[in-house]
Amino acid sequence: MNEDTIKKPRIGLFVTCLVDLFRPSVGFASVRLLEEAGCTVEVPMAQTCCGQPAYNSGDREDAAAIARQTIEAFEEFDYVVAPSGSCAGMLKKHYPSLLKGTSYEKRAEAFSAKVHELVSFLVDVLGATSVAAAGKGGSVTYHDSCSGLRELGIREQPRKLLNSIEGVEIREMENADVCCGFGGTFCVKYPDISNKIVEEKTACIEATGAQTLLAGDLGCLMNMAGKLHRQGSPIKVRHVAEVLAGMEDDTPAIGGGGR
Amino acid sequence: MEIQSPQFKEKARNALANEQLQRAMGKAKTGFISKRKKSVEALPEFEDLRSSARAIKDHTLAHLDLYLEAYEEKVKASGGHVHWAETAEDARQAVLAICRAAGARTVTKGKSMITEEIALNDFLEKEGIRPVETDLGEYIIQLRGEHPSHIIGPALHLNKEQVEEDFRRVHTQLPEERDLSQPESLLGEAREILRPQYFTADVGITGANMLIAETGSSIIVTNEGNGDLTQTLPRIHVVVASIEKIVPTLEDASQILRVLARSATGQDMSVYTTLSTGPRRPGDPDGPEEYHVILLDNGRSSMLGTEFHEMLRCIRCGACMNHCPVYHAVGGHAYGWVYPGPMGAVLTPSLVGVDKSGHLPNASTFCGRCESVCPMQIPLPRMMRHWREREFERGLNPATQRYGLGFWAFFARRPRLYRLATSLAIPTLSGLAGRRGWFRSLPLAGGWTRYRDLPAPQSRTFMQQWQARSGAPHGREGGDR
């Protein structure tokens, strides 16, 4: 081991299933941001999903099995970072209670202490106040996804880093902290209600006049992007990591076609 | 009230299509939220107050039997009567026996969710006793033959034009040309109609926001003063309250009052906070001759010590529903029973069974806003999840959901197989979308694509690309077990 690897924090990237399947660019943006911030990033192959679909459907057994599998895959790292407040919240806040009273209780607690959502990790743990990327700039509006906001206290961190990019103007929407109606399986179990909630959200987004909608969770983003597109809105939708990593030029916005 | 929660989806769809309801809900939600916010922000110690209110209730619930017995002693000592009711039927019969003994023909009622829970009005009417709701909102919905759509704003689902229509329909003795276009004129008319009722009623029935063990008192908080008239003017005052309303001391009650109105309506205090302790004493200028308390369990004691224990801290402020995006979207009636919104989604399955109310804890995005504003810090989303677990254990959720979940979990628990399957499926799906980037519809994805487009996957999975980029896999290879 040389000196360099000793000093650099070793990160296990929890990609999240939606990023893995639908939008790998968010994963690469995460890697770029973490590496630029002086970390070594590795991606354990034994990861699939955080287990929320099972956990929130009342299936504790499958959720616990997935939790154990994720802990095993990641516990060797200094930190576990995920580009999602919802998945990071699951790993950090819910794994310990899910595995309480089992042989994994202690491991789950130790694991939990290492877990962070990407942007809050950059700001709160690494002390970042700016990002190297110089993007295209323009006006953006930021939606605070529920789990990140209320379980992990993520609100100022993404705004701080966005403000450090020259030419980026944040136009706050009304009710930025109100749910977008995604809710995981909720959006397909109760599509009528989910639709009503996302309609209210897109009205708030449109009212800002911003060119781009950003958030830190791909599930919420796909929901809002899907609604905006159905409504014929020209607003571009992206994960905040892509903007922070300066990847706008080579990566079309959500729904903008493959590469 | 017969439970209609199994029809939640249908009721929700109707509610979403009801323009009038949507207009009323739109107005209601902004008011509650901004008022609460303002009043909470004006009180720097509000978060500490929440914690101390919670501690009071936690302590009380841990010694519930003790405090209930102490309370009973105090009520008796002040000349009142306590009736223990294990079930809703026990409570109804207790009320009826009191009314019969008094030869009552008319009872006035203060606003009370617990009498909604035991469906007291329908029961009394069948027994030939006329219940008169005296809270304006309750009065309006009684005229309409409806149930409350909100625990503190029973007529929240209505607009004032509808109320005007109802008043004109029912109050035919009043001149037709009268002006009923303003809330104040509606209130004035209701007051004019209701005032004489207090004097003709033989029995006044109220709920209780709290019961105080130390003094044997019941407390109600109101903004209209109707509760005071209901409990002081008739010859008999009956309090119907559930067992978890108890708090140890007057000091504890005043602590909880500090978070109650702020969380509910954004007021520092409600306009009236009224304590009743026993019947009229010699020398008292007014008050009832008899004072009865009916203590209802109706399933609550079986929640003690379970994962739903903390629900018994609820003080019925309504903040959870005021901040719930699902409640905002569909209103209270869609929930199909007495208690709507997040607190109803937890309490209803406890009281009527999750087999009849499974939709309620499922119809939540788990956004967590309810828990963040609950003055009693009740972990509502967590308890909704516990109900989903009970449902799952008993196999109550739909078969398609179970199979879908089982299929997904099979792969999610086998990383190597998962990677193989997704590395085949995702590029196929991406190719299927071609250059469009979106799906307008997709087999098995109707729940999503009915209302929104589905973005196509960018290309290959992240894992595929990462492996290709790095040559060899980083980290430990994920073996399937």
Which residue in this structure is represented by tokens 């936690």?
A: B58
CB B311 within 8 A of CB B383: yes
Residues 6 or more apart whose CB falls under 8 angstroms from that of A227 comprise: A195, A198, A199, A201, A202, B451, B452
Q: In chain A, what residues touch B438 (CB-CB under 8 Å)?
A: 226, 229, 255
Round to whole Å and give the CA distance between B118 and B295: 12
B476, two tokens: 């430990």
Residues B283 and B387 reside in one and the same domain: no
Which of A179-183, A255-259, B182-186 shows the lowest per-residue confidence on average (mean pLDDT)? Answer: A255-259
Q: For testing the chain B interface, which of A14, A15, A47, A57 should be mutated: the one with the most B CBs within 10 Å?
A: A57
Q: What tokens appear for A153 in the block?
A: 């206290």
Contacts 24+ apart (CB under 8 A), B152-161: B152/B264, B152/B265, B152/B316, B152/B317, B152/B318, B153/B28, B153/B318, B154/B111, B156/B24, B156/B25, B156/B28, B156/B331, B156/B332, B157/B21, B157/B24, B157/B25, B157/B331, B157/B332, B157/B333, B158/B24, B159/B20, B159/B23, B159/B24, B160/B186
Parent domain of B364 = 312-399
| Alpha-carbon distance B268 to nearest alpha carbon in chain A (angstroms) | 25
Are residues B379 and B242 part of one domain? no
Closest CA to B188 of B141, B224, B241: B224
**Chain B residues near residue A48 by CB distance under 8 angstroms:** 411-413, 415, 418
On the question of pLDDT at A12 being above 80, the answer is: yes
Q: What is the distance in angstroms between the Cα of A208 and the nearest Cα belonging to chain B?
A: 19
- Are B80 and B293 within 8 A, CB to CB? yes
Task: Judge if B86 and B213 occupy the same domain.
Answer: yes
Q: What is the pLDDT of residues B128-167, one digit of tens each?
A: 999 999 999 999 999 999 999 999 999 999 999 999 999 9
What is each CA distance from B122 to B106, B143, B237, in whole angstroms?
13, 13, 20
Q: Is B364 on the interface with A (CB under 8 A)?
A: yes
| Distance of residue B248 Cα from the nearest chain A Cα, in angstroms | 32
Count residue pairs from A and B with Cβ separation < 8 A: 238
In a shared domain, residues B135 and B252 = yes
State the pLDDT at residue B470. 76
Residue B365's contacts (CB-CB under 8 Å, 6 or more residues apart) are A146, A179, A181, A182, A183, A184, A186, A194, A197, B325, B326
Contact B178, B84 (CB under 8 A): no
Contacts of B196 (CB under 8 A, 6+ apart): none
The pLDDT value recorded for residue A2 is 53
> B20 in a domain, yes or no?
no
**Of A15, A197, A222, which is closest to B462 when you measure between CB atoms?**
A15
Residue-level pLDDT at A226: 98
CATH of the domain at B180: 3.40.50.10420
Which comes out higher in pLDDT, residue A1 or B399?
Answer: B399
CATH code, residues A3-125: 3.40.50
Judge if B156 and B82 occupy the same domain.
yes
What tens digit of pLDDT does each residue of B358-388 get? 999 999 999 999 999 999 999 999 999 999 9
Q: Kindly report the nearest CA distance between residue A13 and chain B, in angstroms.
A: 10
B124 in the same domain as B252: yes
What type of residue sits at position B308? F
Domains A3-125 and A138-244 share a fold: yes
**B373 lies in the same domain as B448:** no
Reply yes or no on whether the pLDDT at A103 is more than 70: yes
Kindly indicate the confidence band of residue A6, based on its pLDDT and cuts at 50, 70 and 90.
Answer: low
Together in a domain, B230 and B115: yes
Fold of A138-244: Rossmann fold (3.40.50)
Alpha-carbon distance of B137 to B158, in angstroms, equals 10
| Alpha carbon distance, N-terminus to C-terminus of chain B | 52
**pLDDT value of residue B238:** 98
Confidence (pLDDT) at A63: 98
B10 in any annotated domain: no
In the block, residue with structure tokens 């990861």:
A47
Note whether residue B318 is domain-resident. yes
DSSP assignment of A119-174, as one string? HHIIIIIS-----S-----EEEEE---HIIIIIH--SHHHHHHHHTSTTEEE-PPT
Give the three-state DSSP class for B4: coil
End position of a domain, from candidates B342, B373, B399: B399
Q: Examine the domain organization and report whether B190 and B293 are in the same domain.
A: yes
Give the gap in angstroms from C-alpha A258 to the nearest C-alpha of chain B.
Answer: 4
Q: Which pLDDT score, from 0 to 100, does residue A3 have?
A: 53
Q: Are residues B90 and B165 in the same domain?
A: yes
The list of chain B residues with pLDDT below 70 reads 471-481
Report the alpha-carbon distance of residue A166 to residue A138 in Å, rounded.
Answer: 9
Using an 8 Å Cβ cutoff, are B387 and B354 in contact? yes
For chain A, give every domain's residue range: 3-125, 138-244
Angle between helices B160-170 and B183-200 (to 10 degrees): 40
Convert the pLDDT of each residue in B393-426 to its tens digit: 999 988 988 999 999 999 999 999 999 999 999 9
Contacts of B12 in chain A (CB under 8 A): 190, 192-193
Cβ of B415 under 8 Å from any chain A Cβ?
Answer: yes
Q: Report if residue B23 sits inside a domain.
A: no
Closest CA in chain A for residue B360: A190
Contact B367 A150 (CB under 8 A): yes
Q: What is the ipTM of this complex?
A: 0.96
Closest CA to A184 of A69, A95, A64, A51: A51
Kindly state whether residues B391 and B457 are assigned to the same domain: no
Rounded CA separation A197/A182 (Å): 9
Interface test with B, best of A14, A18, A22, A238 (most B CBs within 10 A): A22
Enumerate residues 384 to 413 of chain B having a beta carbon within 8 A of any beta carbon in chain A.
385, 387-393, 397, 401, 405, 408-409, 411-413
| Residue B37 covered by a domain | no
- Residue A132 pLDDT > 80, yes or no? yes
What domain count does chain B have? 3
Nearest-CA residue of chain A relative to B371? Answer: A150
The whole-angstrom distance between B361's CA and the closest CA on chain A is 10
For residue A21, the chain B residues in CB contact (below 8 A) are: 422, 426, 457, 461-462
pLDDT value for B29: 83
Residues B323 and B199 in one domain: no
Residue B9 lies in a domain: no
Q: Does B465 touch chain A (CB under 8 A)?
A: yes
